[in-house]
Amino acid sequence: MTDYLSTGTLPEDYRDLALTVREFARTVVAPVSAEHDANHTFPYEVVQGMAEMGLFGLPFPEEYGGMGGDYFALCLALEELGKVDQSVAITLEAGVSLGAMPIHRFGTDKQREQWLPSLTSGRALAGFGLTEPDAGSDAGGTRTTAVLDGGDWLINGRKQFITNSGTDITALVTVTAVTGQTGGKKEISTILVPSGTPGFAVEPAYNKVGWNASDTHPLSFTDVRVPEANLLGERGRGYANFLRILDEGRIAIAALSVGAAQGCVDESVRYAKERLAFGQPIGRNQAIAFKIARMETRAHVARTAYYDAAALMLAGKPFKKQASIAKLVASEAAMDNARDATQIFGGNGFMNEYAVARHYRDSKILEIGEGTTEVQLMLIGRELGL
């Protein structure tokens, strides 16, 4: 079925989903976006609405409370939300792709039964704790440690920039930690740490440039004890497992970025028809029309790239290179389109209440999170044998 995914003709169930989320974004998300952005507040009511629509369960089996859909369905939802509000879109992306997916992919039956129903229903969120103060792009540089002590993991260390880690509905964070050495190399494993575990501190939220309505915190772990059974996946496979999660996540971030890029086009087309200067709509000037045509082209090419990566992934074929390409072109399309849209909006483009101004601040992180542009280039180069 995935062989004929095209940006022009989507199968009906995917199209229906995209249209439903588009309507939700227009009627529920857009009216409160500027306010949550200005106040740096987490949009609980919007998250609840997404939960009621089943968005947090999209790619998960029904036996764990999911919708029985697939990862491409999640991407379509992210694209629609990303057009209107990147904070809301990243909350869903991180909740599903980084929060619940590791448990679904690598958890035991017991761990899935314990955590997935609340995560797939959107009643709870989980964080993905990989990045540390001294381990970002070089995530293998993890310094957080976990040692077995009397049947418990004893965890010490710090994580930074962790999305969805400090909301009222955050239930746990999955962290990477060094659990030993094998063959002179660090053995890195992943461990589930429930919120509220003594010694696990969620530090005050960051004051960010954008994504102001999304939840991001530094975390610290001081002699945190969790049962040995909280190991997620095989001991020593934690880093590799998280890299697999990031490969998929890049397709999702690409979809969100395409949404942002397209949102900038849509806003610009509307504004260019309405705004008058020198006695005519500014869109009549070829300089403006060409700018918007280029923006549309960037969004379209980036969409094609993420559709391709998703189709390969769903077909069970290698998709690492295509996911990196999609993430690279889509994040750059979002940033470039946000800059151009802001220019088209003139002074209004510099006013925070305008959606394009928010895209201008929000889009920069798309070139950084879940692997920077340079990391994508490294991965593409490696896939080419360089």
Selected from 17, 306, 370, 376, the binder of ligand FAD by CB under 6 A is: 370
How many chain residues are in contact with ligand FAD, going by CB under 6 A?
23
Mode of pairing for the β-strands spanning 145-149 and 125-129: unpaired
Looking at residue 322, its amino acid is Q
Quickly list H helices, 178-319: 238-274, 286-314
Taking the complex as a whole, the smallest distance from the CB of residue 133 to ligand FAD amounts, in Å, to 8
Cα(first)–Cα(last) distance of the chain, in Å?
34
Measured from the CB of residue 161, what is the shortest distance to ligand FAD in angstroms?
Answer: 3
b vs e for 178-201, b when ≥16 Cβ sit within 10 Å of the residue's Cβ?
A: bbeeeeeebbbbbbbbbbebeebe
Q: Nearest approach, Cβ of 302 to ligand FAD (angstroms)?
A: 20
* Position 236 contacts ligand FAD (CB under 6 A): no
Interface of this chain with ligand FAD, residues 76 to 135, rule: CB under 6 A: 94, 98, 127-131
For position 42 contacting ligand FAD by CB under 6 A, the verdict is: no
Closest to ligand FAD by CB, 122 or 249: 249
Distance between CA 193 and CA 195 in Å, rounded?
Answer: 7
- Give me the amino acid identity at 382: R
- When asked if residue 209 is in the footprint of ligand FAD (CB under 6 A), the reply is no
Q: Tell me the catalytic residues.
A: 370
Compare residues 28 and 173 and give the one whose CB is closer to ligand FAD: 173
Query: How many angstroms separate the CA atoms of 203 and 271, rounded?
Result: 41
User: Rounded distance, CA 354 to CA 352, Å?
Assistant: 5
Query: Is 324 a binder of ligand FAD (CB under 6 A)?
Result: no
CB of 355 to ligand FAD, least distance (A): 19
Please report, as ranges, the residues that interact with ligand FAD according to CB under 6 A: 94, 98, 127-131, 136-137, 161-163, 208, 211, 216, 365, 368-372, 374-375
